[in-house]
Amino acid sequence: MSATTTSEGKRGVLITFEGGEGVGKSTQLLLLKARLEQAGYEVLCLREPGGTAIGERIRTVLLDRESAGLDAIAELLLYEAARAQLVTELIEPALAEGMAVLCDRFTDSTLAYQGQARALGFDLVRRANRLGSKGLIPDRTIVLTHDPKTALDRAVKDGADRLEAEGLAFHEQVCEGFELIAAEEPKRVRLVASRVEKQATADAVFKELADLFPRAARHDFPIDEDLLVRIRQERG
């Protein structure tokens, strides 16, 4: 079940941002939010796992380094539980209202992390994803790519959560997982190189989404320092 009926129809659009640790997903998601809002779209930004009171409690368990002994299947099911709550409580109602929903991670992260890096396999994880997402498929997925070591070093500079602490080999497998997904679904999943220049990355991201947001495509969207400061504050 795709999120959208038409790019400007009554039902909204679900865009997901994916990629390894430290590639700049949250920044690019918020830059896209600003661009769409400037063009008059209603936008809801979410993250996985989390976004709801229940999902945030599950997120704490999943990312806490004291959960180091978590079984891979248990981990998978916790992600799906948080996702089911997010879809029911926030994503589906927002789409029904015609909003653009931007989500930092969704089903493709589960494929890359649990299916590929945890070696549970894509077939098993896809079945779990269908249950957790209630059959919802993103209209478009942006996978930001970067050298895994450089991106991981950036992500853990202030400390690592349970997944960030898995080590470079694990995260190289995650990146390989995303590449496999993009190769299988090139119409939906678009690879975008994450560059140092945020403007260049944001322009490349929007190029892959312009057909879904024609009003926003009519105008340039220069990124200035004031906007970047606001986004850093919004990220916390």
Q: Give tens-digit pLDDT for 166-224.
A: 999 999 999 999 999 999 999 999 999 999 899 999 999 999 999 999 999 998 899 99
Q: Which phi and psi angles does 182 have, rounded to 5°? A: -65, -35
The domain over range 13-219 is classified in CATH as 3.40.50.300: yes
Instruction: Return all residues near 118 (Cβ < 8 A) that are at least 6 apart.
Output: 72, 75, 76
**Mean pLDDT taken over the chain:** 94
Residue 159 binned pLDDT confidence (cut-offs 50, 70, 90): very high
Residue 51 binned pLDDT confidence (cut-offs 50, 70, 90): very high
What is the rounded average pLDDT of the residues 66-92?
97
| Helices 72-86 + 53-63 axis angle, to 10 | 160
Q: Is the pLDDT of residue 163 over 70?
A: yes
What is the rounded average pLDDT of the residues 65-76?
96
Please give the residue that has the higher pLDDT: either 110 or 8: 110
pTM of the model as a whole = 0.93
What is the rounded average pLDDT of the residues 29-40?
96
| Spatial CA neighbour of 177 closest among 136, 119, 128, 130 | 119
Q: How far apart are CA 219 and CA 76, in angstroms?
A: 41
Amino acid making up residue 80: E
Q: Is the pLDDT of residue 2 over 80?
A: no
- Parallel, antiparallel or unpaired: strands 43-47 and 100-104: parallel
Q: Is the pLDDT of residue 52 over 80?
A: yes
The residues spanned by each domain of the chain are 13-219
Give me 169's structure tokens. Answer: 């080999």
